[in-house]
A and B are shown apart, each in its own frame.
Chain A
Amino acid sequence: MEQYIQQVLAPRVQGDGGWVEFVSLNENELTLLFRGECSKCPILNRCTAWIEQKIFEDQGQRVTVKAIRKKPFFWDNQ
């Protein structure tokens, strides 16, 4: 899963100035760290839903994404 996130999904997210990293997979809860533009995206939930869908399509696994946002200090008040 980590490799899939890194090689398939991360480059897509990077193309929009975002950043996603695998943190853990416990049962079906997939924890992902979002940085860059993703860290302040007001509609990140749409993207995590897309990630869940892609993982199901490509990996055949149903997961629920738990998103952790890591905002840079200069966006911390947004």
Chain B
Amino acid sequence: MAHVKVERRSMRPEEWTQLRFVWLQRGIYADREEITDITIRDARQVSESEYEYLDGGERKLQRGDLYFTPDGTAFIRAHAIVPERFRGRQVYLQLKTAAEMIVKINGKFAGGLDPNRERILLNPYIDRDELDIEIEAYNRSKPDDERNPAAIGKHGCRQIFEGMYFATVRDNVQSLVYDYTLLLDIAHSEYFNEDYRKFLNIELSRALDKVDFDTFEGVDEAAKYIQKTIYENTDFKGSGDVALVGHSHLDIAYYWRRIHAVQKNARTILIQLRLMDKYPEFRYTHTQAYTYETLEKYYPELFAELKEKVARGQFEPVGAMYVEPDCNVPAAESLIRQFLYGQHYFRRAFGKTIDNAWLPDVFGNSWIMPQILKKSKVDYFVSNKMSTWNDTNRFPHNNFIWKGIDGSEVYASVPPTHFISWNMPSQIQENWEAYQDKETGGQTLSMYGYGDGGSGVTEEMLELARRFEKVSVMPKIEMTGGADFLHKNLKDNDKLATWDGELYLEMHRGTFTTKSNLKKMNRRLEYKLREAEMLCAFAAAFGGADYPAEELRACWKKLMLNQFHDILPGSHIHPVYEDAMRDYTEINKKLDVILAANDGDVYFNSLPFDRDMLTFIPDEDGPITREGVKGFWSRPHLPGLTCGNVSPVQGKANWMHTEHGQDGKLLIETPFYRLALNQDGSFASLYDLTLGREWVRPGCGFNKLHIWADHPGMYDAWDILPNYQDVEISLPIQEAARVTYADDSSAEIMVDFATEKSAWRMVIRLFADSQGIEVEHVVDWQEKHRLAKVNFGPDVLTREMLCDTSAGFIRRPLTKNTSWEQARFEVCHHKWFDLSETGAGMAVINEGKYGVGVEKNKVSLSLLRSTIRPDITSDMGKHHIAYLILPHAGDAVQAGVNRLAFAYNVPLVKATLTLPDKWREALCESGLWLQSAKLSEDGTMLVLRLSEQDGKRACLRFPEPVKLLNMLEDIEGEADTLSVKPFEIMTVGIPLNEGGN
């Protein structure tokens, strides 16, 4: 018998309830009167506080007019008299908009309007019958519009002005609307008990039977009915214990430029402050010292209000860091500075040291983080992405202990659901059900509030919260603060499980590579800042020179700002990239000026060990062109922390022999290798004459360039998919490998490739006096949806790869035995990776690359992508990418790969500087990396930061006692000898009026 599907075509009872709920919403406004004396002036924001007014001046604005222009800010002014009939009542300003508006009434900040809120209470600002209304409105509204379908239709560069009104509200209707918003959400949610939902559907319909939708009589009776039959019903039980924390995530730049975040932030804060006035129980958390700094600078009036609310405990600074940075790519010192400048700001502004890191949206977290947190007086860590965005494995904990690379432990919360929610019962119940540490972790954390200009918490969210305890099926709810949640549930909780490893996000793997130039400049400036700061600090401490503290701090802050998690990772629109590159150029110029002040005829080796590795010295008369700069190769032979002259490396005659072999191979013999190069520059063979072994595994490709079709979809800039190698794109050779330069110390072999749009030159550099082989790629990249990688298949029997983290190395499996290993097919590293077996191995050292592909028999360095969302020009243009292939005896530690990688990345700068021998020897003999030398923020100490990078124990012996500091430069003790644990970062201070100076 044929199956006949039974389908109901007439209205269901639930649909009847839903329809009447819409009618009820229409009854919220009791009375309205349009405000018609309105003018508008179009502008475009050009800096954090400046606007360029567009032609046309001020014009009248009427209902039905189009307003706003692309990337526009509009200044709207209105003058109105409160209607006689509204006087003595609660009067609102009502304006529906898809834009983001800050509203001032009679010169006072009254509130904000956006797709999530359409009215502002006027009464507190009515000091006379006449009202002057001033609105600053930014039209780029992407406040969670995917989550707010009503806003999508209105979204766009040009919007229709729907009018501005005085309005009064039927409070009882509004209250009943909140009841129905709450209860209908439960009735529609499969997270709740089915019997209760049936009960709700029946009773919600019955309650609405009492309402006359023409006059809105009967609303009070309906409310009473709900109170009695639903809220007072205890037949149904729920379970769970959920902490609700108000929060508004704010991307400093993303689909908007960082200059726009100043206004977005101010509006978000203004709205939260106004909610605190009305709802005394409301507490709100806000991150990023930078956002407070801009509020203080540009909106001092609001900042004063905020300080008051902070003092009262309603407004809670969280996060401790300067911004919410990417936590994969920035080096350890950058992350430390994020805390140093963040915490110092919070101390100055509010007298508070924040004990949590609050990073809900970052794309995974480096294993070096726990130590940095702990030593920055941060005991707690919060980050959401791993629980909600992993694409392969479910991260097994929500409340747990996170153990770092050095063994430091912090309490961690990875909340089970998204950091943007709108406090609906279904979202709260979903959070509880997804929570994996019910037996050990105490409460689960649910953040509520719109983000990214959606401006946080709404009145509706707080009205719902006031009703939660009346609903028997809801979990137990506590409205709390971020720190209170962490202290209550995690502190001294000995039941918590421990996660010992990085917090790898199984998504967004492309962000290690997207926008190559940003990563390269960030790396370069991290080290240039180190040089500038160190030279100035030593000159000040040991030579009495002035220290440019403000200039250096400004450079750090600009660099840190651009480490924001949608800037440095490359996930932003084109103008954000332009801003970042402009910022990098500005930092670079400022550092040149600072370095010039210490300039000399000799070079200063800032490495705490002998610099004898081949180093490229820029020189206009030099014979070599590297990365577009002329210069020469030198072996400086400079002891650590000393200065001296450098000269071109001494050559050897006839050090290289070449001949053409079979299949077009180029056969080269140097003092170190017999190298067979394929026409495309890949190595067919690399025979090591010193070690007597072959390095190339046949069939795997070695220094083999591949271009892959790269179609990750919507998250184009963010993601690389596991099947990226399905389609290879041909990169035809224009000119095969040939020797293009040779002198008595180095030689260059070039290969030229080209596609229809792009030109790609590979330059392979061999040296008479070094086993390192440098490869530079000079690229004019004009592709779309492509991923360029270079493969290395070394003939090394190993199941793991060592990856530099910038503060120690992490061992990553090369095996694919488990789903966890399979998911890590693209991982982050810093300056180097290494594959070694007992006795020998091979490292690849880079100067600005982060993504590494992991496969069975080979690894691949990710060079370039060409994504089109959010920026269709991403990575287009010229690139110089260099790396050093370094076969070595012993393992990576025995071979000193860390030192070589530092030397490859740290520029040798001119400066005449002499350190007292006793301090120089103490630093150089420790074997530790001198990560930073600076004057303390209070200017009283020379601060030295030293890190153990090789995973072994060390001892620091100073010539006299030094102050033991945490990373915030607080003095915690004094000693002259320090034992250092593997991967430990130490900070010490030498008082300026003592010691060697």
Query: Are B156 and A15 within 8 A (Cβ)?
Result: no
Q: Does B573 contact A (CB under 8 A)?
A: yes
Q: Once the chains bind, are A14 and B153 in contact (CB under 8 Å)?
A: no
Give Cα A77–Cα B70 distance, bound, in whole angstroms: 26
Given contacts A15-B575, A41-B156, A43-B158, contact A74 B55 (CB under 8 A): no
- Most-contacted residue by chain B among A17, A42, A72 (CB, 10 A): A17
CB-CB under 8 A from B868, the residues of chain A are 35-36, 72
Query: What A residues does B139 contact at CB under 8 A?
Result: 16
Residues of A in contact, count (CB < 8 Å): 24
- Establish whether residues B70 and A15, one from each chain, have CB atoms under 8 Å apart when the complex forms: yes
Measured between beta carbons, the chain A residues less than 8 angstroms from B140 are 15-16
Scan residues 25-42 of chain A and give those whose CB is less than 8 A from a CB of chain B. Answer: 35-37, 41-42
Beta-carbon contacts under 8 Å, B114-167 to A = 139-140, 153, 156-158
B157 touches A13 (CB 8 A): yes
B153:A47 contact, CB within 8 angstroms: no
User: Is A50 interfacial (CB-CB < 8 Å)?
Assistant: yes
Say yes or no: is B711 at the interface (Cβ < 8 Å to chain A).
yes
Check if B158 sits within 8 Å of A46, measured CB to CB.
yes
Answer whether residue B255 sits at the interface, using C-beta atoms and an 8 A cutoff: yes
Identify B257's interface contact among A15, A43, A50, A57, CB under 8 A.
A15
B99: min CB distance to chain A, Å: 12
Please name the residue on chain B nearest to A57 by beta carbon: B55
Q: Are B44 and A12 in contact (CB under 8 A)?
A: yes
The interface bits of chain B over 704-743 (1 if a CB of A lies within 8 angstroms of the residue's CB, else 0) are 0000000101101000000000000000000000000000
Residues of the B chain whose Cβ atoms lie less than 8 Å from the Cβ of A50: 66, 69-70, 157-158
Task: Give the residue name and chain of the A residue nearest to B867 (CB).
Answer: A72
- Evaluate contact between A12 and B70: CB separation under 8 angstroms: yes
Q: B70, A47: Cβ atoms under 8 Å?
A: yes
- In the assembled complex, the CB of A28 is this many whole angstroms from the nearest CB of chain B, namely 22
The minimal Cβ–Cβ distance linking A76 to chain B, given in whole angstroms, is: 11
User: Bound complex: CA of A57 vs CA of B256, how far in Å?
Assistant: 27
Bound complex: CA A12 to CA B872 (Å): 15
Q: Which residues on B sit within 8 Å (CB–CB) of A18? A: 70, 157
Q: Which residue of B lies closest to A70 (CB)?
A: B872
In the complex, what residues of B have CB within 8 A of residue A42's CB? 153, 156
Choose from B156, B257, B573, B716 the contact partner of A72 (Cβ within 8 Å): B716
**Are A11 and B71 neighbours in the complex by a CB distance under 8 Å?**
yes
Interface size on B, residues (CB 8 A): 28
A46 — nearest CB in chain B belongs to which residue?
A: B158
**Residues of chain B with a CB closer than 8 A to A73's CB:** 711
For window 53-75 of B, CB contacts with A under 8 Å fall at 55-56, 66, 69-72
Please tell me if B438 contacts chain A, counting CB pairs below 8 Å: no
Q: Are B872 and A47 in contact (CB under 8 A)?
A: no
A36 touches B158 (CB 8 A): no
A2 to B872 alpha-carbon distance, docked (Å) = 19
Which chain B residues in 348-382 approach chain A with CB under 8 Å? Answer: none
Q: How far in angstroms is the closest Cβ of chain B from A40?
A: 11
- Is B574 part of the contact surface with A, judged by Cβ < 8 Å? yes
Tell me if A46 and B575 are in contact (CB < 8 A).
no
Q: Is B626 an interface residue (CB 8 A)?
A: no
Q: How far is the CA of A36 from the CA of B573 in the complex (A)?
A: 9
Q: How far is the CB of A56 from chain B (nearest CB, A)?
A: 12
A74 proximity list for chain B (CB < 8 A): 713-714, 716, 869
Return A41 CB to nearest CB of chain B, in Å.
6
In-complex Cβ contact of B872 among A11, A19, A43, A57 (8 A): A19
Cα A36 to Cα B71 with chains together (Å):
14
Name the B residues within 8 Å of A37 (CB-CB): 255
| Interface flag for B407 (CB, 8 Å) | no
Residues of A within 8 A of B255 (CB): 16-17, 37
User: Which single member of B69, B153, B573, B713 contacts A17 (CB below 8 Å)?
Assistant: B573
Q: Which of B438-479 contact A (CB under 8 A)?
A: none
Are A14 and B575 touching (Cβ within 8 A)?
yes
Of residues 66 through 87 on chain B, the ones whose CB sits less than 8 Å from some CB of chain A are 66, 69-72
In the docked arrangement, what's the CA distance between A16 and B713, Å? 20
Q: Bound state CA distance, A57 and B592, in angstroms?
A: 44
Q: A16-B140, A18-B157, A41-B156 are known; give 17 further A-B pairs, CB within 8 A.
A: A12-B69, A13-B71, A15-B257, A15-B573, A16-B71, A17-B255, A17-B573, A36-B872, A37-B255, A42-B156, A46-B158, A47-B70, A49-B66, A57-B56, A72-B868, A72-B869, A74-B716
Closest 3 CB pairs of A and B: A15-B71, A46-B158, A12-B70
List chain A positions with a Cβ less than 8 A from chain B: 9, 11-19, 35-37, 41-43, 46-47, 49-50, 57, 72-74
Interface CB pairs A-B, < 8 A, 23: A9-B70, A11-B575, A12-B72, A15-B44, A15-B140, A15-B256, A15-B575, A16-B140, A16-B157, A16-B255, A16-B573, A17-B255, A17-B573, A17-B870, A18-B157, A19-B872, A35-B872, A42-B153, A46-B156, A50-B69, A50-B70, A57-B55, A73-B711
Residues on B facing A (Cβ under 8 Å):
44, 55-56, 66, 69-72, 139-140, 153, 156-158, 255-257, 573-575, 711, 713-714, 716, 868-870, 872
